[in-house]
Structure 1
Amino acid sequence: MSELEIDALVFDVLGTLVDEPAGIRAGIHELVPSLDGSRAHELLSLWQQHIDREQRRVLDGDRPYLTSDALDQEAARLIADAAGVDDPAAVAALALSGRRLPPWPDTVAGLARLAERFPLIGLSNASRTALLGLNAHAGLRWHQAVSVEEARTYKPDPAVYQLAVTVSGRPPERLLMVAAHAWDLRGAQRLGLRTAYVARPVGDPPAASDRFDLHADGLADLADQLDKLQGA
């Protein structure tokens, strides 16, 4: 690959900077405090499968675009039905659990360090409203936070990564997409962005055939590598 010269960093949010399963699991336990770990895991899987399936249907043209808020509401109703809960207020609270996701331990300090050298762009499948709440709850620092709602589709549609290119005003090869999901990085590569995989417990690890520019154990490791590349 050519030399890595970066003008801005583009971050996936869900899973990369915040622990999405932990936040949803906490919401499920609030809905039904008596659940044991196995049953809570089953309901979390039901939530995740619904979101993944319906986003894929949007990408495949089988369903009109809906914001992440609408999909979360659908998922919350599914969970409540499966758990035998019919309290509308409790279901509504569960639907908002995607805005109360805890950051990974290195996230806040890592973003602050990286922001000293690069403009930071958040690029998330979360809606504008959900992204605002999520950023505030987790204490995420951005120079710009962009929702896929602007493109009315979901990652890995190229139109989403184009949002970051447009916002940055830089050519795609001068942007570094940072994610814990190999599928997300592949989508960014197709539009010409450079890529950095950051390992997380809930991520999608690279396949043997993937060729990403950087591989990091966390944000501190990513910052160290970029410092060396940029001659800090």
Structure 2
Amino acid sequence: MTMLAAPSILAFDIFGTVVDWHGSIVGEMQTLHPQVDADAFALAWRAGYQPAMQRVRSGELGWTRIDILHRMILDELLPKFGLDHLGELERAELNRVWHRLDPWPDTVAGLTRLRTRFTICSLSNGNIGLLTNMAKRAGLPWDCILSAEVFRAYKPDPATYLGVADTFDVPPEGVMLVAAHQDDLAAARNCGLATAYIERPLEFGAANVKDVSPDAANTWHARDLVNLAELLGC
């Protein structure tokens, strides 16, 4: 494959791209609450994510960290799964599952290789505390942790993508968003960023295999992060 000129900053989406949110939540639920349909619970919790952020975007809620939104969704979800008896300590601990999501098997090796040539950072709607705890536990070798919290705007607001370029004092084309979500990548391209799609067919679990077909609009398309490192000469 002909090598293309690559940006100097790689910004990574986190949930689904770098870490396996579905598998991690399913694993915890199967251990803590084996009577619950763990797959359905994980999917329902994640399904509340965009509607919750929309309440902030619309002005119904002021700026709110994702930890707080996750807890709001959780509290609404528990009665539907027969878990409304959980106390405050149990709810708080369960909510922190998002801080301890497991990386995909290729993640740490891929990031480590990419870091030898590029500056790598997170670009997630997750808040800084969440992303820091996740990185510490999973060994994610970020050069910098950036979050929507820094820019007080959730992706796909242009302030997030352009904020990365501004942080590192490079033009938008000096940044590449790496993500497993085509809508995220499309929004980044609209801001002038390069884009790399990462195949995560099992993001929503084995019963809900995701279409990972290439989109020619992306700069790169890779099987996983190790493959992306290979493509970029790392």
Q: TM-score w.r.t. structure 2 length? A: 0.87
Equivalent-residue separation in structure 1 for 2:21 and 2:110 (angstroms): 18
After superposition, what is the alpha-carbon deviation per residue over 1:179-208, rounded to whole angstroms, capped at 9, x for unaligned?
Answer: 111111111111100001010122875678
Equivalent-residue separation in structure 2 for 1:217 and 1:42 (angstroms): 27
SS at match of 1:176: strand
Question: 208, 214, 220: which one pairs with 2:220?
Answer: 214
Equivalent-residue separation in structure 1 for 2:167 and 2:137 (angstroms): 24
In the superposition, relative to structure 1, how do residues 109 and 195 fare at CA in structure 2: closer, same or farther (>3 Å)? same
Instruction: Report the counterpart of residue 15 of structure 1 in structure 2.
Output: 16
Moved over 6 A (4+): 206-209
In the superposition, relative to structure 1, how do residues 66 and 205 fare at CA in structure 2: closer, same or farther (>3 Å)? farther
Contact in 1 for aligned 2:148/2:160 (Cα 8 Å): yes
Equivalent-residue separation in structure 2 for 1:225 and 1:209 (angstroms): 17
Contact in 2 for aligned 1:182/1:206 (Cα 8 Å): no
After superposition, what is the alpha-carbon deviation per residue over 1:104-127, rounded to whole angstroms, capped at 9, x for unaligned?
Answer: 011001111111111111111111
Instruction: Report the counterpart of residue 187 of structure 2 in structure 1.
Output: 187
Equivalent-residue separation in structure 2 for 1:22 and 1:5 (angstroms): 32
Equivalent-residue separation in structure 1 for 2:217 and 2:27 (angstroms): 36
In the TM superposition, residue 75 of structure 1 has moved relative to its aligned partner by: 2.1
Q: Give matches, 1:1-232, under 5 Å.
A: 4-35=5-36, 39-85=37-83, 86-88=85-87, 89-201=89-201, 202=203, 211-227=217-233
After superposition, what is the alpha-carbon deviation per residue over 1:92-115, rounded to whole angstroms, capped at 9, x for unaligned?
Answer: 111111011010011001111111
Contact in 1 for aligned 2:200/2:212 (Cα 8 Å): no
After superposition, what is the alpha-carbon deviation per residue over 1:121-157, rounded to whole angstroms, capped at 9, x for unaligned?
Answer: 1111111111111111211111111011112221111
Contact in 2 for aligned 1:125/1:155 (Cα 8 Å): yes
SS at match of 1:96: helix
Q: Which runs of 5+ in 1 are unaligned?
A: none
SS at match of 2:39: helix
In the TM superposition, residue 220 of structure 1 has moved relative to its aligned partner by: 1.8
Q: TM-score w.r.t. structure 1 length? A: 0.88
Contact in 2 for aligned 1:47/1:78 (Cα 8 Å): no
In the superposition, relative to structure 1, how do residues 209 and 138 fare at CA in structure 2: closer, same or farther (>3 Å)? closer
Give the alignment's Cα RMSD to 1 decimal.
2.0
SS at match of 2:52: helix
In the TM superposition, residue 46 of structure 1 has moved relative to its aligned partner by: 1.8
In the superposition, relative to structure 1, how do residues 53 and 31 fare at CA in structure 2: closer, same or farther (>3 Å)? farther
In the TM superposition, residue 162 of structure 1 has moved relative to its aligned partner by: 1.9
Percentage of matched positions with identical amino acids: 34
SS at match of 2:25: helix
Contact in 2 for aligned 1:58/1:153 (Cα 8 Å): no
In the superposition, relative to structure 1, how do residues 162 and 154 fare at CA in structure 2: closer, same or farther (>3 Å)? same
In the superposition, relative to structure 1, how do residues 76 and 28 fare at CA in structure 2: closer, same or farther (>3 Å)? farther
